[in-house]
Structure 1
Amino acid sequence: MTEPRPVALITGVGRTVGIAAGIALRLAADGWDLALNYWTPADRSIFGDSADAGLGDLVSALESLGAAVLPVPADLELPDSASEIFREVQAGLGSPSALVLSHAWDIDSGMLDTSVEQFDKHFAINTRASWLLIQQFAKQLETDEGRIVAITSDHTVGNLPYGASKGALDRIVIAAAKELAHLGISANVINPGPIDTGWMTPSVREHLTGLQPTGRLGTPDDTADLVSFLLSAHGAWINGQLLKSDGGVSS
């Protein structure tokens, strides 16, 4: 009798070139069924009207790897979205045993030109929604082991609300590593460094590549490799860590 595939919920899977899409493809190949949270209006606000082009092809690619796939659109700015997402996932796939937080609201602004509205929106999506999703994940976990992995960033200068909200996310996830350990849940944060997922101009790409000791920029696959390890039995003893998987650019 074939063992049922475990279920992972991945947020921010709205674009085929994003980090979340790379993670989804790796986890499907690893044997996970996948719930994919996305919100097209947010992706289009940041990346343009064609941001979600090819999303259906991504779902097809995941299914071809053997995964059952459940797309779950939800606006993470709304406080009720976390509980609604988990209700839909449990009804469609069953209880997730892994939560990968790869969503982000990211509109550049600095110390002097950030509006209160944008500051609050970044924290609502990047920080509050992540806390609420972690909370719901812990409450619904039906196995004796669970995994949480969040994608973060230390880009704060000239990008104040994004960087600050991601910094708060880091603290929440690391707190979860201790507060939820009695449930068998591990929680870690990955900082992948600069990865070109469609936002870099040629000059930005050239500049950031020049800062890389490896001589190349990171790819979604680089991040997906580490997520795959942390969700596996081999990564079970790693807990409460902020892991830099950035090719040495921050060293």
Structure 2
Amino acid sequence: MTRRPVVLVTGVGRRVGIGAGVAARLARDGWDVATTHWTPYDERMPWGPHPEDPDHVHAGLRAAGARTAAVPADLTDPAAPARLFDAVEEALGPVTALVACHCESVDSSILDTSVESFDRHMALNARATWLLVAEFSRRLRVEPGTGRIVAITSDHTVHNLPYGASKAAMDRIVLAAARELQHQRLTANVVNPGPVDTGWMDDDLRASVLAANPRGRLGTPQDTADLVAFLLSDRGGWVNGQLLFSDGGWRA
């Protein structure tokens, strides 16, 4: 029996999130799937905690034939990535692909962002991604050319200063990996899905985004998952070092 490759998808705390959509698609595509979640983040957000969601997500992954591991991880802790990879390797084996869907996202502007909030965004969105990429590279034991890194980004900056700034830093870290880690022949790409309503939009914002999209609908986690699945596939192996927009033309 051929062993399924292992993907680590971070930020899979809610069933409606992009991370959950990515994880589900990859399980259907033949991956074993490890995920991270951190309930204290959801407790601070408008949608509140959904502590049962990781179990529901993983039940669906197992139904698709995947072996799974759900690991709680506070990625603001610099030691968390090493512990995370230890746990995933023990449960599922070596990791072939890393998909970074985690984020800190709390709206604030130039004049009212606190230093604490700015530092937290940088720690989670930029520093944690750097440490995850580095840990992934150090432990990569797969055939050269099969390793994959994908990170989910955003260009939302106005009245969202720390989020936008930290995501921009994250982009540069991931894109640098395409060159700095070229000895491993892996690919490293960033995907910008545009506005995807995963519980953070109110009715007015939802209506304005819908009206502005040339495709006449909102983006879904499945839209993002389709592109991530391609980038992780053999067919996607020639796409490397790119920031890709998958937003139905919204940015245009």
- Equivalent residues in 2 for 1:74-89, closer than 5 Å: 74-89=73-88
- Alignment partner, residue 112 of structure 2: 113
Structure 1 residues 154-204: Cα deviation after superposition (integer angstroms, max 9, x where no partner)? 000000000000000010011001111110210000000000001111111
Q: Which amino acid aligns with 2:216?
A: G
How big is the shift at 1:57? 1.6
1:30 corresponds to: 29
Q: CA RMSD in A?
A: 0.9
SS at match of 1:215: coil
Q: Is the 8 A contact 1:177 1:186 kept in 2?
A: yes
Instruction: Output one character per residue of 1:130-165: Cα deviation in whole Å (capped at 9) or x when no partner.
Output: 000000000001112200000000000000000000
Q: What TM-score does the superposition give when structure 1 sets the normalisation length?
A: 0.98
Which residue is equivalent to 2:154?
A: 153
1:184 aligns to what?
Answer: 185
1:3 counterpart = 2:8: no
Taking the aligned partners of 2:206 and 2:160, their CA distance within structure 1 comes to 18
Deviations for 1:72-118, whole angstroms, at most 9, x for unmatched residues? 10100100001110111111111100000000000100000000010
Query: Which one-letter code corresponds to 2:128 in the other structure?
Result: A
The one-letter code of the counterpart of 1:174 is L
Q: How far apart in 2 are the matches of 1:226 and 1:168?
A: 22
Paired letter, 2:37:
Y
Distance 1:250 1:181 in 2: 31
Find the residue that maps to 2:57 and give its secondary structure.
helix
Letter in 2 for 1:77: T
> Deviations for 1:190-233, whole angstroms, at most 9, x for unmatched residues?
00000000111111100110110111010000000000000000
Alignment of 1:147-226 (within 5 A): 147-226=148-227
C-alpha contact (below 8 Å) 1:98/1:147 kept by paired residues: yes
Larger mean CA deviation between 45-54 and 133-142 belongs to 45-54
- Structure 2 gap ranges (5+): none
Letter in 2 for 1:248: G
Separation (CA, whole Å) in 1 of partners of 2:155 and 2:182: 26
CA distance in 1, matches of 2:45, 2:224: 22
The runs of 5 or more residues in structure 1 that have no matched partner are: none
Equivalent residue, structure 2, for 1:99: 98
Give TM-score scaled by structure 2 length. 0.97
Matched residue type, 2:245: K
Displacement over 2 Å in runs of 4+: 47-55
Specify the SS of the correspondent of 2:11. Answer: coil
The one-letter code sitting in structure 1 at the alignment partner of 2:184 is L
Is the Cα contact below 8 Å between 1:23 and 1:221 reproduced in 2? yes
Partner of 2:70: 71
Amino acid corresponding to residue 129 of structure 2 in structure 1? S
SS of aligned partner of 1:176: helix
Is contact 1:109-1:160 (8 Å) kept?
Answer: yes
Partner in structure 2 of residue 228 of structure 1: 229
Q: Is the 8 A contact 1:16 1:52 kept in 2?
A: no
Give aligned pairs, total: 250
The percentage of counterpart residues that share the same residue type is 54
Whether contact under 8 Å (1:16, 1:53) holds in the other structure is no
CA distance in structure 2 between the aligned counterparts of 1:71 and 1:133, rounded to whole angstroms: 16
1:21 matched residue in structure 2: 20
CA distance in 2, matches of 1:215, 1:48: 26
User: SS of 2:45's equivalent?
Assistant: helix
Residue of structure 1 in register with 2:126 after alignment? 127
